[in-house]
Chains A and B, each alone.
Chain A
Amino acid sequence: MAQYIQSGEYDATELDGEWIILNTDNYTVTKINEVGGECWALLKEVQTVDSLTQEIGEKFSSAIPISQMKKDIETFLSQLSECGLIKNVD
């Protein structure tokens, strides 16, 4: 299973439950919501879709089916990759 981790130098700021991620390597900013912020914090260490799904499922007990949560996390990870915030560590 694909593994991911944060890539580069970052500074994260929390404002009213949303997170602003500043990449100090290329001077970009990315805004993410509270659950995204939690995923982001976990990605300081190597994670997989499964490990993130489990952690997020425990932290934000919701009625969303696990399969849907996995899909959402996969989508989120591909967006973070596009923004250059995480890298694949296969």
Chain B
Amino acid sequence: MESIYVNIGDHVLHILLKVQFPYKSFIKNFKKILNKQSNLEITIYDDYGLPFKNYDVEITSSSNQIKYRRADYLIQVDKDFKHATIHVHNELALKHAMMNLYSAFLVHNKWGLLIHSSCAIENGKGHLFSGQSGAGKSTAAKLSFPRDLLSDEASLVKIENDSITVFNSPFRSELEAGDYQGSVELNSIQLLHQSPENNRVKLDKSDALIQLMDKVFFWPHSPEETKTIMKLLSTLVKQVPVYDLSFQKNNTFWELIS
């Protein structure tokens, strides 16, 4: 059994791996630390279910526990989000289960959101590129080289009443996490549309909120949780401008941003 402490956002997770395979490519994106005080302890087993079938997650909750069940994973977490167990079928299931659990943990703590997007740093400020699968998040991330990247698939956004910041995300698609530490102020959010021309149009706050609702990774188990997500999104769009960005598949879109 391996026991590691990792840092995500400004949280410490204690991960106990009771697994048959090493899952090195998953683990390497997490920043290991020596701290022994964790916010959430997670025990992971790889003894469960079938290979990936679909994204349907069945959520059930009892008085002291919430269960998230997919064909390839099962998460059981205490309602105070201090202890969890994850049973997975393989590495993909482990990645998705960790995203599911951590996003629920963030919303439970009203800390922030995991947003379906890539994030690049320009002049010390973060810029998010969001959209559905295929919209160009990874493309925008790759075309942002040599800027530092905080995410290529799922951005970690801390939402407070007087500041919105982005942290390095360990939940990666193609581009491995760099060792950028700390957080940066979020300066803009782009909703991506590939196009023959570059164009950037600012959205009304209400439209921005509606557009962002289905870009958040979350699996609501209660109306209260959904309300929390709405409040977090509302706090986000009050502080950060959201744009529709039509962009060519080259790096000239940055001229519209910086």
> Which A residues are within 8 Å of any B CB, using their own CB?
9, 11, 13, 15-16, 18-20, 22, 24-25, 27, 29, 31
Contact = CB atoms under 8 A, between A and B. Distances in A.
B207 to A, nearest CB: 8
The 4 closest A-B pairs by CB, nearest first: A24-B223, A15-B205, A18-B206, A11-B227
A16 B238 CA distance: 9
A11 B237 CA distance: 17
A11 B209 CA distance: 14
Nearest to B227: A11
B204 A18 contact: yes
Interface string B196-220: 0000000011110110010000001
Contact of B227 (A15, A24, A25): A24
A16 B226 contact: no
Contacts, number: 41
B255 to A, nearest CB: 28
B71 interface: no
Contacts of A11: 226-227, 230
Nearest to B209: A20
Contacts of A24: 223, 226-227
B231 interface: yes
Nearest to B231: A13
Contact of B234 (A13, A25, A27): A13
Given A18-B205, A25-B223, 11 more contacts: A11-B227, A11-B230, A13-B209, A13-B234, A15-B234, A15-B237, A15-B238, A16-B206, A20-B210, A20-B230, A31-B206
A8 B205 CA distance: 25
B237 A31 contact: no
